[in-house]
Structure 1
């Protein structure tokens, strides 16, 4: 019950949610305002906002001035901001004298600041909160010394507030949450212990051996597969035609090691093809952990067989023949092929683990990867054809042949460990000896390789051992006490005053042994309780200045999304600028800061939703199932933001920059100078390029579209809120969204002009529609467009074939118009002019970034009384042109960071 006694009583509400309720509030008649406010309100406000008019449902005649009430405070704060921003009184009303306006604002802000500071002194800036699921995973990795643990997916999705999953207002704890914590902790502990059951071994898996289960199905089991998609058995660059005919065995096996090393399977399609997946499913991943993966591959060209796969339509409207490959004729590859590696789980989920370029000359690549028990390895040559039902041709094929990718073998070394027993075992049981029990059960091979017996053959490969570790204590109770004290001190992020803190957990251990559990299981029960306790789950403390260990915790959960390391944990004088700056520099330069960058961007820019908007297969066949583009788009934004931090580049680069990061696929997408290679590289942008900054990156343009059409409304709101920090209220209830016309009969601008002809709609749309229109030159995946796409009879038909092997069916419809007029009257013709308008106030860009960092770091939004402190943070960065690294330092040095 103690755990639930500290769960938050209520959540703060945003002004957008509070406003309707606040504006309708009537506390008493004839409210007495302070004398220095009442005259201004009577002369300039009550004409519309009295008890009779109540325009906007705001009755200032009866609105209380009890600023201790949160709803009343929020309403008066909104009144202040509307007057301060010149929105009230309306422009067509008599305007107050400047001295009267300033006096009103000064008096009202003074009252609001005083009330807000009193609240903070009593309640603190932020609420007590639990760790979110990603922080929980990273904390487990640290405490269990198991950097390979992957458990966040086992916990419920966290709630978000003000963009992030970092605030106590949304990180509550329910009985479902607690059940999942107990379940996840048990899994993590057993994975950490049982790592000691597996010594590192190196196993090689030949592609042709995998064919006995998957690849060989088209040849040997009579499954109907189009020959052009079937795998090609290769010996070097020689197609083994007798193997294709079935007159020779699939592999020479161990009888001829030299030939076996040259045997390969070649593919002219990507792994998305419905009947040509090329997973390594015989791989044995016996336990979660770090592994070293090596893979021998090469590229080739399959000769054309003289048959076309479809009509004589070219990719860009020209004519060419979509040649089908001749599996009997194989030639050297003409170029490299980008390959992505996935860990493919039994549930069908594919987790990215790496990329590489495969070249015409056979090469062995090596990657260190993290795998889960039972994972299969899935390579995917993503540039190759990814056939869908009804496919008609190959966009990469020419009269000279069809490009292909071949695999010889895959080698897996692991689980890797720097010491023995593994660090994860030592984190729980120190130097106690143990023994390993192994079950005799194995997953049997299917008796016959048919479609029927292969259904469900994805749980795990045959031969994965089922082992468990039993710890052998010399004095069980004494060992249990010693281990629990050490574990609690490591798990809790605050000093432990007395070893008696372990008594409740020792009792759990005793109860477990009393009902017959082994020492190992009883200790895991006690450890599980520790990892689900309030002292482990919650990260904030009492109201007031943070102590050194609390600053260390807040700093590490900000920059590492996890707990402090030993250097930070034992750092002294963290309230002093020099020490705090040194620790911040060290942490930003550590690879663990990638956790911060990835999580911050996932939520601030909504990059976690990049796969939610699947490109429409008819309107955008070039993007449909183009995982290469999706992957490169995401990594571009991460690398770009990392560059801003590492080089302390001005925050204005968020709006426009003279560089970006791109690989071959992304460079082609952006119309940049072409080059080969899957690795991202820093690319200087031409002076006339519309790219540069976050606004025109493919990831941002994709998450702000819906997969079918662009949306100026969604994109405009996104820009104003995410990059400029302007709050946009939700639309009134009952107002239907504007649905773009995919037939091409009308443009989205024409539909919005009709929609915003109503004054109630125009007032809000004028704030964000122009920003959305500026991005209309970019399609749903960030490609350049000069005309909208449509399906139907309107517009110019396009000719070509998509990555899925299907002919285009869309048409070019009405021209795109990226011009607009901002609410302040400034006009722009295109995205370049729009960016220049935004960059005229770089301080606003920096201000928004400061606010985003503060919410992410402290779990609390900027209150009214803290606005001046934000301006002081921005002032301190002005000489560095608002450098992003400087802003991070300034936020961490501020009192907003150092108090609860």
Structure 2
């Protein structure tokens, strides 16, 4: 059961927690606080917040004014902000005269700014930080000329602070981390070298060849327990019934190439867990790298074969909906089918590598993909039934038949290399010759009759040769020195003044050779140490203005999530506006900027958590195991944000827009005009559509809910913090969470109304609950809902069959109420009016985006003295209506970006 975001204490309570370390000082405010502040505090604050009253546990008499102390400084900042926002003195108290309040705020602000600037001058804006694991992967790709490397998963997950994994407060280094860096660097280096052991080859894998796939065994050897899941052997649009009956072999093989090219396996289901698979398991991916994948496919319709169980549960008027397919009758497909390609390991890890549409007429698609050693290729017709044990029907079936997807063959070409030896080899050993050692050992082809054979399968596919590259030096020591100098100059992001910097690494090489290691292994040991050294792992560290090479590094780790390329490294005068703007434009237009977009959104919007909660199979059967919807939701948000940057669209589009990006699955989800196709396209939204902006995108609505219920508290806090930059204090301990009532007896609004009837709770909830109520018209995956769903005896029953083929029953319970009243008294009745309220202050939306970019780009949050600079950045973007690309430029041009 999902636990709702815990109820907050009063605002002053959170302030008191921050002040706790200060209270022990027991220093008199009158003796410590400047005279110009003391009068205001005595007249408007001390009556409640003295040592005797301590309202909200705040004792201003005992609060020192030592602004060099971090905790004390933070306490006075909160006092400033509470007074500035009109929260203190409280509304029921006598309000101070405007001129008195302004004088107090100005005086306190001047003191805070002076102290803050002194701190920055001494320690810098941000802490020294290491690269995070994704930056480390991209840096290795650059240094090793290996764009196909995938190593981030080998490193521990990074900590986050202020939304991002970019700040020194969380990017420390432990002995465990250092061990992982050494291990990961060694793996990457050996992968880069051993790429030279495999020249590009092209191999075709026919679906009907025995052992190529695992799914076909479903109808072999008397295992035909699930005929609806079994593959259909087809020759074009003819079902080969004699093959089904095992009177003919699976394939004609090499004896008739023309017939073999038309042989196919057809499937009326998608790929899902162990219940149904059609992996190309015998594909040989000999080494990590770039590969060209081609696949010949088409769609078909299998004839109906009677009615499935559960015919009395039709969705409309009791009409039977679900037929079993007849594998003996196939016809031309009636439509295209969206297909997703995954690179799949035996451990169960699947990585998305592409999508395409399969058409009724056979067609060969081609994609360039990145594969790991030993990957299997998994196509998935995600729109089709995804059967599970005890399935009862097919929601896509009609009286005319059941839709299906057929595969003739898959062809793999690679690894692809523009040069020989591969650039990854040259990055380490230049033009030195080498030889390849090959072992006779091969992994035997396992029996494919049982699912148990999948357990323990290694990452290597059957038949992958064991090869090892041995580098042949001309003069080992001289070659080692030359190569180490070249490597370290590329690996380090600072100019190398003296070649003597390689001496510690040369000693490692010498020690390795002294104990009998080969030249290749000794050099890898030295390279590994370089790739785990502080100069490689840590970014700029000098306090003060950044030099050109440091600006280049900061810019590239901002916009590419990795190191500078040669053009950026060679750029002169990056302190000058025109040069910096030109480089920024070039980098934003480069495909590598997708790394920035993906990483920024993953952490700012928490999109990395999109798979954290599985939709409940009974309450939300239409979303359960619907990978198409999950993937389309994620790609929509990325493509939408890319459009804002590319077209310099106003930041207000984050809240509401007249367009989005959708494919067939999302268009159906959003109740837009239907169309076919897996590719995202720009879609204009109807005037009355509740969609538009980030708030109502399926990805955001999913990560702010869970698989069972929505949460106004969680969604409201998310909106205020992520989109408007309003600080929401953490929930206090010891307060019971509000449990959602999935029986439908009470709504979440009724439960929250009862809970927030306490003044101490309502003080915080009034800030964000209304925003969450505005999104209650959207369910846990962003679909529209007028009624809550429940499992129990309350409400109208809804029955049907899910994508998993199982019958379901849930109930439409109480109606949704998306109305609310904002803290400032503005009321709204639905999402449209709520969005209009947010858009009344476009500057707040732009300001928050500026802050998010600065934290992401510099690894430092906004300090008190930098607030004015933030406002200046926002001011500079007014002419573009706060265009997102303009905001990025303004952040990069600012002094905040150019200093450490």
TM-score (norm 2): 0.97
Report how far residue 310 of structure 1 moved.
Answer: 2.5
Residues 449-502 of structure 1: per-residue CA shift (max 9 Å, x gap): 455556544643211011010000010000000000000000000000100000
The residue aligned with 1:684 is: 684
The residue aligned with 2:647 is: 647
The residue aligned with 2:240 is: 240
The residue aligned with 1:434 is: 434
The residue aligned with 1:3 is: none
The 2-side partners of 1:128 and 1:316 are apart by 63
The residue aligned with 1:26 is: 25
RMSD (Å), alpha carbons? 1.4
The residue aligned with 2:410 is: 410
The 1-side partners of 2:24 and 2:832 are apart by 46
The residue aligned with 2:888 is: 888
The residue aligned with 1:111 is: 111
Report how far residue 53 of structure 1 moved.
Answer: 1.1
The 2-side partners of 1:763 and 1:216 are apart by 62
The residue aligned with 1:219 is: 219
Query: Using a 3 Å threshold, how does the CA distance of structure 1 residues 863 and 83 change in structure 2: closer, same or farther?
Result: same
The residue aligned with 2:556 is: 556
Report how far residue 273 of structure 1 moved.
Answer: 5.9
| Counterpart secondary structure, 1:326 | strand
Report how far residue 334 of structure 1 moved.
Answer: 0.3
Report how far residue 391 of structure 1 moved.
Answer: 1.2
Once the two structures are superposed, the pairs formed by residues 109-148 of structure 1 within 5 Å of their partners are: 109-148=109-148
Query: Using a 3 Å threshold, how does the CA distance of structure 1 residues 212 and 695 change in structure 2: closer, same or farther?
Result: closer
Runs of 5+ in structure 1 lacking a partner? Answer: 1-13
The 1-side partners of 2:511 and 2:274 are apart by 53
The residue aligned with 1:862 is: 862
The residue aligned with 2:797 is: 797
The residue aligned with 2:830 is: 830
Report how far residue 317 of structure 1 moved.
Answer: 6.0
- Note if contact 2:207-2:213 (Cα within 8 Å) is conserved in structure 1: no
Report how far residue 758 of structure 1 moved.
Answer: 0.9
| Counterpart secondary structure, 1:31 | helix
| Counterpart secondary structure, 1:441 | coil
Report how far residue 224 of structure 1 moved.
Answer: 4.9
Report how far residue 807 of structure 1 moved.
Answer: 1.7
Runs of 5+ in structure 2 lacking a partner? Answer: 1-12
Report how far residue 347 of structure 1 moved.
Answer: 1.4
The 1-side partners of 2:623 and 2:448 are apart by 39
Query: Using a 3 Å threshold, how does the CA distance of structure 1 residues 409 and 448 change in structure 2: closer, same or farther?
Result: closer
The 2-side partners of 1:170 and 1:584 are apart by 28
| Counterpart secondary structure, 1:208 | coil
Residues 770-827 of structure 1: per-residue CA shift (max 9 Å, x gap): 0000000000000000000000111000022111111221100000000000000000
Residues 371-393 of structure 1: per-residue CA shift (max 9 Å, x gap): 00000000000000011222110
- Note if contact 1:18-1:71 (Cα within 8 Å) is conserved in structure 2: no
Residues 273-318 of structure 1: per-residue CA shift (max 9 Å, x gap): 6332000011000000000000000000000112334323334565
The residue aligned with 1:102 is: 102
Q: Please identify, of 729-738 and 140-149, the stretch whose mean Cα deviation from structure 2 is larger.
A: 729-738
Residues 717-765 of structure 1: per-residue CA shift (max 9 Å, x gap): 0000000000001111101111110000000000000110111110000
The residue aligned with 1:669 is: 669
The 2-side partners of 1:188 and 1:497 are apart by 28
Query: Using a 3 Å threshold, how does the CA distance of structure 1 residues 614 and 450 change in structure 2: closer, same or farther?
Result: closer
Residues 186-215 of structure 1: per-residue CA shift (max 9 Å, x gap): 000000000000000000001112556622
Residues 509-538 of structure 1: per-residue CA shift (max 9 Å, x gap): 000000000000000000000000000000
The 2-side partners of 1:658 and 1:141 are apart by 39
Query: Using a 3 Å threshold, how does the CA distance of structure 1 residues 853 and 289 change in structure 2: closer, same or farther?
Result: same
Q: Please identify, of 214-223 and 690-699, the stretch whose mean Cα deviation from structure 2 is larger.
A: 214-223
Q: Please identify, of 420-429 and 89-98, the stretch whose mean Cα deviation from structure 2 is larger.
A: 89-98
| Counterpart secondary structure, 2:728 | coil
Query: Using a 3 Å threshold, how does the CA distance of structure 1 residues 731 and 523 change in structure 2: closer, same or farther?
Result: same
- Note if contact 1:213-1:449 (Cα within 8 Å) is conserved in structure 2: no
- Note if contact 2:219-2:231 (Cα within 8 Å) is conserved in structure 1: no
| Counterpart secondary structure, 1:446 | coil
Residues 673-694 of structure 1: per-residue CA shift (max 9 Å, x gap): 0000000000000000000000
The residue aligned with 1:6 is: none
The 1-side partners of 2:778 and 2:453 are apart by 48
The residue aligned with 1:372 is: 372
- Note if contact 2:798-2:809 (Cα within 8 Å) is conserved in structure 1: yes
- Note if contact 1:49-1:58 (Cα within 8 Å) is conserved in structure 2: yes
Once the two structures are superposed, the pairs formed by residues 72-83 of structure 1 within 5 Å of their partners are: 72-83=72-83
Query: Using a 3 Å threshold, how does the CA distance of structure 1 residues 423 and 718 change in structure 2: closer, same or farther?
Result: same
The 2-side partners of 1:492 and 1:18 are apart by 43
Residues 689-726 of structure 1: per-residue CA shift (max 9 Å, x gap): 00000000000000000110000000000000000000
The residue aligned with 2:399 is: 399
The 2-side partners of 1:648 and 1:738 are apart by 42
Query: Using a 3 Å threshold, how does the CA distance of structure 1 residues 213 and 174 change in structure 2: closer, same or farther?
Result: same
Q: Please identify, of 211-220 and 65-74, the stretch whose mean Cα deviation from structure 2 is larger.
A: 211-220
Residues 844-890 of structure 1: per-residue CA shift (max 9 Å, x gap): 00000000000000000000000000000000000110000000000
The 1-side partners of 2:224 and 2:153 are apart by 38
Report how far residue 25 of structure 1 moved.
Answer: 4.4
The 1-side partners of 2:497 and 2:727 are apart by 46
Report how far residue 21 of structure 1 moved.
Answer: 2.4
The residue aligned with 2:718 is: 718
| Counterpart secondary structure, 1:227 | coil
Q: Please identify, of 217-226 and 644-653, the stretch whose mean Cα deviation from structure 2 is larger.
A: 217-226
Report how far residue 55 of structure 1 moved.
Answer: 1.4
Q: Does residue 1:332 correspond to 2:351, yes or no?
A: no
Report how far residue 223 of structure 1 moved.
Answer: 2.7
Once the two structures are superposed, the pairs formed by residues 520-669 of structure 1 within 5 Å of their partners are: 520-669=520-669
| Counterpart secondary structure, 1:777 | coil
The residue aligned with 1:249 is: 249
Q: Please identify, of 718-727 and 303-312, the stretch whose mean Cα deviation from structure 2 is larger.
A: 303-312
The 1-side partners of 2:133 and 2:705 are apart by 28
The residue aligned with 1:197 is: 197
- Note if contact 1:618-1:808 (Cα within 8 Å) is conserved in structure 2: yes
Aligned length: 887
| Counterpart secondary structure, 1:43 | helix
The 2-side partners of 1:488 and 1:628 are apart by 44
| Counterpart secondary structure, 2:130 | coil
Q: Please identify, of 387-396 and 662-671, the stretch whose mean Cα deviation from structure 2 is larger.
A: 387-396
The 2-side partners of 1:841 and 1:455 are apart by 57
| Counterpart secondary structure, 1:842 | helix
The residue aligned with 2:295 is: 295
Which structure has more relative contact order (CA 8 Å, sep 6+)? It is 2
The 1-side partners of 2:628 and 2:762 are apart by 40
Query: Using a 3 Å threshold, how does the CA distance of structure 1 residues 319 and 447 change in structure 2: closer, same or farther?
Result: closer
The residue aligned with 2:819 is: 819
The 2-side partners of 1:156 and 1:677 are apart by 38
| Counterpart secondary structure, 1:160 | coil
| Counterpart secondary structure, 2:215 | coil
- Note if contact 1:270-1:386 (Cα within 8 Å) is conserved in structure 2: yes
Report how far residue 220 of structure 1 moved.
Answer: 2.2
Q: Does residue 1:69 correspond to 2:62, yes or no?
A: no
- Note if contact 2:710-2:776 (Cα within 8 Å) is conserved in structure 1: yes
Q: Please identify, of 237-246 and 23-32, the stretch whose mean Cα deviation from structure 2 is larger.
A: 23-32
- Note if contact 1:789-1:811 (Cα within 8 Å) is conserved in structure 2: yes
The residue aligned with 2:852 is: 852
The 2-side partners of 1:356 and 1:373 are apart by 24
The 1-side partners of 2:277 and 2:315 are apart by 26
The 1-side partners of 2:821 and 2:586 are apart by 45
| Counterpart secondary structure, 2:352 | strand
Query: Using a 3 Å threshold, how does the CA distance of structure 1 residues 366 and 317 change in structure 2: closer, same or farther?
Result: farther
Once the two structures are superposed, the pairs formed by residues 469-488 of structure 1 within 5 Å of their partners are: 469-488=469-488
- Note if contact 2:283-2:377 (Cα within 8 Å) is conserved in structure 1: yes
- Note if contact 2:705-2:715 (Cα within 8 Å) is conserved in structure 1: yes
Q: Please identify, of 439-448 and 110-119, the stretch whose mean Cα deviation from structure 2 is larger.
A: 439-448
- Note if contact 1:317-1:799 (Cα within 8 Å) is conserved in structure 2: no
